[in-house]
Amino acid sequence: MPPGKLFFLGDNPDGSDDARSYGWGDLATVSGRIGLRVWPLGAFGPLPTGPTLSPVPAPSA
């Protein structure tokens, strides 16, 4: 994965516009976090606090 980029997928493989259509996303454009799940209804509720995205140094050659 290129530094500073992310790969994003939609939830509908046959009908989502995502990184397969638009290419890599810029990590710098991520401006929020998801805090509530609404689907599937059986899993409705707040998401647990989990890992967050953070910069990773490029591997040394």
**pLDDT, tens digit (0-9, with 9 covering 90-100), for 8-42:** 888 787 888 888 888 898 988 887 777 788 888 88
C-alpha to C-alpha distance for 51 and 35, rounded to whole angstroms: 13
SS3 readout for the chain? CCCCEECCCCCCCCCCCCHHHHCCEEHHHCCCCCCEECCCHHHCEECCCCCCCCCCCCCCC
pTM over 0.85: no
Asked if the model's pLDDT at residue 46 lies above 80, the reply is yes
Q: How confident is the model at residue 51 (pLDDT cuts 50, 70, 90)?
A: low
